Amino acid sequence: MSLTHCDLLIDGQRIAGVGTSFNVINPANESIMSSGRMASTEQLDQAVAAARRAFNTWRTTTDAERTALLHKIADSIEDNADELARIIVQEQGKPMFLAQMEVGGAVAWTRYNADLEIPVNVIEDSEHKRIEGHRKPLGVVASITPWNWPLMIAIWHIIPALRTGNTIVCKPSGLTPVNTLRLVEIINEILPAGVVNLVTGERAIGEAISRHSDIDKVIFTGSTPTGQHIMSNAAGNLKRLTLELGGNDAAIVLPGTNVDSVAEAIFNTAFVNMGQTCAALKRLYVHESLYDSLCIKLAAIADAQVVGDGLAEGTTFGPIQNANQFKRICELVDDAKAQGGRILCGGEPMAGKGYLYPPTIVADISKGVRLVDEEQFGPALPVIRYNNLDDAIRMANDCEYGLGGSVWGPDTAEAELIAHQLECGTVWINNHAEVLPHAPFGGSKMSGLGVEFGTDGLLEYTQLQVVNINK
């Protein structure tokens, strides 16, 4: 595959887009790594038509056939792991070790979903009647993915859709389309033409997808405003939706916690992927008895990071992915300074080319400051002091988002009682941001609709059909 030109892939064929031209920028040095043209709405129609034709055959494949083919896809991802990881680093920016983890996670997720059973629920089996709940594929699924985990999130969308007998049209972020194109190319070497297609584009194509009368489901990972727009546009044919949207996850550190034992895990879950993760820890509430010591420890861990190009040996912390997000982080940190926030480390962009910003810890900050109130989605963590646990719970819940949250402390039973009071889709105890293929994951409030992962996530790609049999 040529990395220098980013095409579409429709009905098994790579073709050039005919819409607006775009460049894919390496965020470490602002060089152009690839370029292409976006799809036109007519080309989107061609991709949807190809998926619809393929659905007529793909839906009839057996569970055993799909399982075997998905394992072949996992094998091929493994065979191309080095190439995929390198593309991730070049277009997304994360360090090589993290890109390798992303590829490894994509393989593991593919294999897990390949082996998932699609249950038949026996509702009644009496002398004269048997009632069963069967799961049927929906049809054409559209996947719209973001720029932060371009391979992993594409796998999260594509593989369950395939396992349940659907066909797919993918639209990756225009900032990181190359990796997803390579993935779809790999899949097309194994599956029949038209089962998985890819178009590039931004707002106009995304809107056309959400309005398209021949698309049966949209799965979207991204911002809440975009998710709301998709939901509004999807009403025309009552599309099924799975929306994994924004988050401003809060963590509460309880008195008595051993700072030395939790500091590294807190740092890693706040700054995973340079903080560019929906479920990353984004607001840290620390009891006053631990506040200063935990701040010092977090700052020391942050100062030890090696910030730079993800392809350079020794880099532990990569760039922010794009210029707009880089500008946003600069603005949020500058605003926090102006509001009296104390910068313990970082706090300024690095000199030279690239969107490099060091991990930044901001102390003496509270609600009313943008860095606390808004989802930063980047390498800046506000640390908020509390002295009353009820206040900490109230502050954690005082947010329009409800994706994840966590409680950290030595008494698991106490932490669990507090965890149940947090208003979020997933709550962790002595951990954060851990997503697993067998554990359903989704948001409450403005953080989303529906769930992904496990059997619950798999069934979101299906329609329940009740079969009522009189014996």
Residue positions annotated with a catalytic role: 244, 278
Question: Can you tell me the distance from the alpha carbon of 178 to that of 53, in angstroms, rounded to the nearest whole number?
Answer: 26
CA 432, CA 225: separation in Å to the nearest integer? 25
DSSP 8-class letter at 278: T
Pairwise CA distance, residues 297 & 407, whole Å:
18
Instruction: Name, in order, each residue with C-beta under 8 angstroms of 348's C-beta and a sequence gap of 6 or more.
Output: 358
Task: Confirm if 381 and 332 have CB atoms less than 8 A apart.
Answer: no
Give the separation between CA 173 and CA 221, rounded to whole angstroms.
10
CA distances from 456 to 118, 164, 263, 441 (A): 10, 12, 33, 9
**DSSP string computed for 318-370:** ---SSHHHHHHHHHHHHHHHHTT-EEEE--SPPSSSS-----EEEES--TTSH
**What angle, rounded to 10 degrees, do the helices at 224-233 and 203-211 form?**
40
What phi and psi values does residue 142 have, to the nearest 5 degrees?
-105, 130
Beta bridge partners of 401: 445
Contact, 165 vs 139, CB < 8 A?
A: no
Among 293, 294, 290, 271, smallest CA distance to 282 is for 271
DSSP classification of residue 240? E
DSSP-derived secondary structure letter, 387:
S
